[in-house]
Amino acid sequence: MAIVERVFSGVQPTGNLHLGNYLGAIVNFVKLQETHNCIYCVVDMHAITQGADVWGGPAELARNTREVAAAFIAAGVDPKKHIVFNQSQVSGHAELTWIFNCVARVGWLSRMTQFKEKAGKDRENASVGLYDYPVLMAADILLYRATHVPVGEDQKQHLELARDIAQKFNNDFGDSIRGQGFNEGLFFPQPEPLITGPATRVMSLRDGTKKMSKSDSSDNSRINLTDDADTIAQKIRKAKTDPEPLPSEEKGLETRPEADNLVGIYAALSGRSKQQVLSEFGGGQFSSFKNALVELCVEKLSPIASEMKRLVADPGHVDAILVDGAERANAIAAETMKSTKDIVGFIRSR
């Protein structure tokens, strides 16, 4: 079983899917379909790692799972040519996590900044699942022996951990891996993060030093993929800026986080570089730039919002897509699990 190039990525169904998720991840999901076999997963098992106050309880979880799947499809992911499914339908994710739990070191997980942020001061009260979250993420990727993982900047550290786990597994079980016929002792690939484009870290519209986030208590801090045109316009007009006109050179954005963020969003949505955007708008006032940004956002996001609405109105249809995707994902996952069990020495039926 040689390693073939394969793309895997996931999005949590925790509500409020926003422009950061779209530009940092989903846009790249769509592009990669042209060159790779892609697997896109709604990671419902990750969603329950925080309290029900965060994920909303069972009915909300199911609704949000369908909504993320709908967002993938509305943005242009093709669930027939590629795979779209929800994580909990493929048991290999949990099985491989257990094996990886015994490979990963407590010290590695203790360094994860996202855990520290999410657990806050009351770390003793965080779930074990929240601590183990990056190991499940490594299992997600490596269950398909995926080689490329499109994500936003905030997932970089988790990807490094996935690479460390793959390497340690390959080392720890090197002899057994060779014994199973994998010549170079290389069973799991080193998954490469793909963090590309001018908006790999979209910031809050209220504070250019904070990441745009699903959990920000201010809805004005983000543009949700389900926002209508009026809401988008209002949020962009209210977005924090500074009193200076826009610079003409990218260097001029360095100390101006809010300006940098809005220019980055414009660049990403229009498929241009920040410099190209500044060549057009540099020297002008924010008000006219904001008008152009509203127009562009509405033009790009409205069709996605209406297609999402249409899809979530037919839950049976979305569920059928997820079940079909899960069956195809499981066929790949089962092969990996068979070999992994043989490598570890677990007896299984033939």
Residues lying near ligand TYM in the complex (CB under 6 A) are found at: 8-12, 20-21, 24-25, 43, 46, 137, 140-141, 149, 151-152, 154-155, 158, 200-202, 211-212
Q: Is the Cβ–Cβ distance between 77 and 36 less than 8 Å?
A: no
* Separation of alpha carbons 336 and 330, rounded Å: 10
Q: Is the Cβ–Cβ distance between 32 and 195 less than 8 Å?
A: no
* Separation of alpha carbons 253 and 259, rounded Å: 7
Q: Helix, strand, or coil here: 308?
A: helix
Residue nearest to ligand TYM (CB): 24
Q: Exposed (0-12), middle (13-18) or buried (19+): which is 9, by Cβ within 10 Å?
A: buried
Residues forming the active site: 118, 211, 214
Residue 26 vs 305, nearer CB to ligand TYM: 26
Q: How far is the CB of 348 from ligand TYM (least distance, A)?
A: 26
Q: How far is the CB of 330 from ligand TYM (least distance, A)?
A: 17
Residue 21 vs 224, nearer CB to ligand TYM: 21
Q: Is the Cβ–Cβ distance between 220 and 214 less than 8 Å?
A: no
Q: How far is the CB of 110 from ligand TYM (least distance, A)?
A: 18
Residue 141 vs 263, nearer CB to ligand TYM: 141
* Separation of alpha carbons 155 and 134, rounded Å: 10
Residue 164 vs 342, nearer CB to ligand TYM: 164
Residue 158 vs 290, nearer CB to ligand TYM: 158
Sheet (strand 192-194) strand order: 83-86, 37-42, 6-11, 148-150, 192-194
Q: How far is the CB of 41 from ligand TYM (least distance, A)?
A: 7
The residues pairing with 149 across neighbouring beta strands, listed in sequence order, are 193
Q: How far is the CB of 213 from ligand TYM (least distance, A)?
A: 6
